[in-house]
Structures are given as structure tokens and as C-alpha cells.
Amino acid sequence: MASEVKVPTLGESVTEGTIGEWLKKPGDTVKVDEPIVSLETDKVAVEVPSPVGGVLGEQKFAVGDTVEVGAVIATIEDDVAAGESTKVEPREEKSAEAPAREEKKDEKPAPAAAKEAAPVDTQTLSPAVRRAVLEHGVDPTTIKGTGKDGRLTKEDVLAAAEAKKGGADTIDEAAPAQAKIDIPAPAAEGGERREERVKMTRMRQTIAKRLKSAQDNAALLTTFNDCDMSAVIEAREKYKDLFAKKHDIKLGFMGFFAKAACLALKDVPSANAYIEGDEIVYHDFVDISVAVSAPNGLVVPVVRDADRKSFAQIEKDIADFGKRARDGTLTMEDMKGGTFTISNGGVFGSLMSTPIINPPQSAVLGLHRIEDRPVVVDGEIVVRPMMYIALSYDHRLIDGREAVTALKIMKEAIEDPTRMLIDL
């Protein structure tokens, strides 16, 4: 008897998803609650577990198909069916050649035979990872994956490619020769040029729509400033060991900027509000959306009540979001709401940018890389670790004076962290 696997409830207002990847093949044994398929929704990837133990039967949809909540997407055969579905090789009849075969069974296979071994199934690689493998000409079987259940991510491939360029193409020299995948080498100069057409994931489509909608519906403007990071860097160096020992988490920069943003939003409430119809909705709390890079795109989980949380709790929340984003285990609830966004392009080396607001929010803070620059202090030229910061905002709601004021408060709080303690 077969059990049905249905698309579960995916979250508020989410009625459908897309088959992103089958984690099990027909005939594979599955356990109760073991994930068998990954669904892509507008915001997150959701793994659908098996309701019973047995063997995966029919897959009713292919990768890329759209499925509605409640739809039957697969069947699980019970134990009896599992036994029946197991392939049994026919027993060889005894013959005069049998002894000879038995004598050779302990011999090592010839090198040619090893090369002819069955190739590794590349269909378990996501489109983005497969494309990166082809572009950089690396062998995915020699790379240790850091994603969910050890799966490869695009970042893993890029890191391997960098190591290869540096003459360190020895990620796993113990990998067997037969595990090599026939990956086409990049075309030589003047050779054949290729192009690949890949369907956008549902998440990427949603990101594109939301960003374009923000540009179409809001009056976007960005104001810039720069801040001296000396005080924050000094505080981190002085207390990082004690902080890590007490809270079991590293003291990063995001906690400082989150607290500085809370200070500014308290004095400039319009930056923590949004427009709904002909009304302005103000909040007496601060839920900060933190832009996090995930294998399938940018996601923005929410640190709730950031204005009431300690540095340690904010850092723990952000670290947890980052890990779960890489593992693909963020939920719809993690990204629901948010009143203000912080996006840190500095981790990728960005010097300056104009971030786009996250609708329906009205403002977003962009952080960038820290670099030593000459600045004038008390009439003298000195070298300080400086960072450009940017505040993009909806000019329909936030006036230039308010935006500049909010960004200036954040700058002053970062340059003098004591302000965050005495509410200045």
C-alpha cells in the first residue's frame, strides 16, 4: 500500500511553490521525517519530509514544476512494497568457468577498468553550482560541501577555483580516479563560444519583482556619510575575548550598527514607518531585517525587538540566521515583518553603493568595507579606518533633513559608542 506525500502549508499567503530538487530517487529507502524533496517558495526553500518509512515510489512532478499547497507530489511504498522493489541479481549457474572467476575476484582491477566506472550523478548539483563548476573547470567530487547534508554551494566551488588558481589544486588528492566527472574545459581563445539558458528560480523571480516594484512605487533617494571605525575596532579588540567567553559568540560589527540604528529610529520615527494607502503606519518597536547571502539568493531574516535586545543576543540571532541561510533551513516566520533593513556589502568588498529599500519599509542602511584613509583631525592629516555608510529612503515619507539626521546619529554613535549606553 502506498502513502501520499503532499505539499505542506508553506506560510501565510503562500499558496504554491516550485520543485527545486528531488533529494531522493524512486526506489530509494526513506525514513520517517526524512526530507525527500526541496520546494522553492517566494522567500525560502522548504524541505518536505516523508510522512512514513518505506521506499520512494512515483515522483508526480519534475524539477521546475509549480505545485500548489495540498497537491500530491510523490508516493511512498510500504515495507512490503519496499521488499518487492528491491532488485535481486539472478544467481549465476555453476560452470567450468566459475573457479577461474573465483580465483580472479581478489585481483585488483586494471587502471582502464577503474576509469570506466560509473560516473557520479551530477543531477544533485543545483543549477547555480553546476554553472560555476562548468565556468571554472573544477572537479566537484574533490570539493567538500558546506551546505545542507554536505551539499556543494556556489561559494564552495568559487573557493576551490581560487585555490586552483593559486597552485593549490589539491583539495582532496585521495579522491579516486574513477570519481572524476567529464567537465568540459573552458573554450580556448578563438574557440567555440557557449551560452547557457537557465530558468530563474522562484526566489530569484520574487527578488526581481520586489526590487523593481520598490523602484516603481517609491521615491528613492540615498544620502551618504562616512564614519571613523577606530572606537568600535578598539572596543572589539579590548573585549572580544571576554565577550566570547561569556556569551559564546564573537563580537561583530552588526551589533553596534543595529544599536546605532535603534537610537536613530527612536529620534526619527518616520525612518521606522511605512505608507499604507493614504496613511502612515508608525512602530514603537524596531524589527531589523538583516540581509544575508544564501546559496539561492539574498534573504532578509528579522531580528525582532532589536531595540530591547543586548549586543550578545543580536549577534547570536544574526549568526544563527547566517548559518541557517547557508543550510537552507530558514522559515517563512523568520522573514516575516521587519521595520528597517541593514545590508552589509562590505563583506564582499563593496566601497560604496545605493541599496534599495525592502518594501513596505521606507529605509535601508548600507554598510561597506573598512579601509585606511587619510582624514583631517584637529588640523592634522592622520590615517584612520573609515567606512562609507549609505541610507536609502522613500522620499514620499522621509524628508532629506530627517534622512541626514538619522544617518548622522548613526555615525556619531559608531564613532563614540558611549552614546548608545546613555541614550544620546
Whether 230 is covered by a domain: the verdict is yes
Q: How many CB atoms lie within 10 A of CB 363?
A: 29
Whether 145 is covered by a domain: the verdict is no
Number of domains in the chain: 2
Whether 396 is covered by a domain: the verdict is yes
pTM of the model: 0.63
pLDDT for 357-399, tens place per residue? 988 999 999 999 999 999 999 999 999 999 999 999 999 999 9
Whether 134 is covered by a domain: the verdict is no
Q: Among 25, 51, 85, identify where a domain stops.
A: 85
pLDDT for 403-416, tens place per residue? 999 999 999 999 99
Per-residue pLDDT, averaged over 212-222, amounts to 90
Q: Residue 407: CA atoms inside 13 Å, Cβ hemisphere, count?
A: 24
Whether 150 is covered by a domain: the verdict is no
Domain that holds residue 44: 2-85
pLDDT for 128-141, tens place per residue? 676 677 777 777 77
- The amino acid at 193: R
Whether 105 is covered by a domain: the verdict is no
CATH number at residue 14: 2.40.50.100
330 exposed, middle or buried (CB, 10 Å; 0-12, 13-18, 19+)? buried
Average pLDDT over the chain reads: 79
Q: How far apart are CA 407 and CA 188, in angstroms?
A: 50
Q: CA–CA distance from 76 to each of 27, 50, 55 (Å)?
A: 9, 8, 6
Q: Provide the percentage of residues in the chain whose pLDDT is more than 70.
A: 77
- The amino acid at 394: D
Whether 166 is covered by a domain: the verdict is no
Instruction: Give the active site residues.
Output: 395, 399
Which set of grid coordinates corresponds to residue 276? 499604507
Select the more confidently predicted residue: 418 or 169: 418
CATH number at residue 259: 3.30.559.10
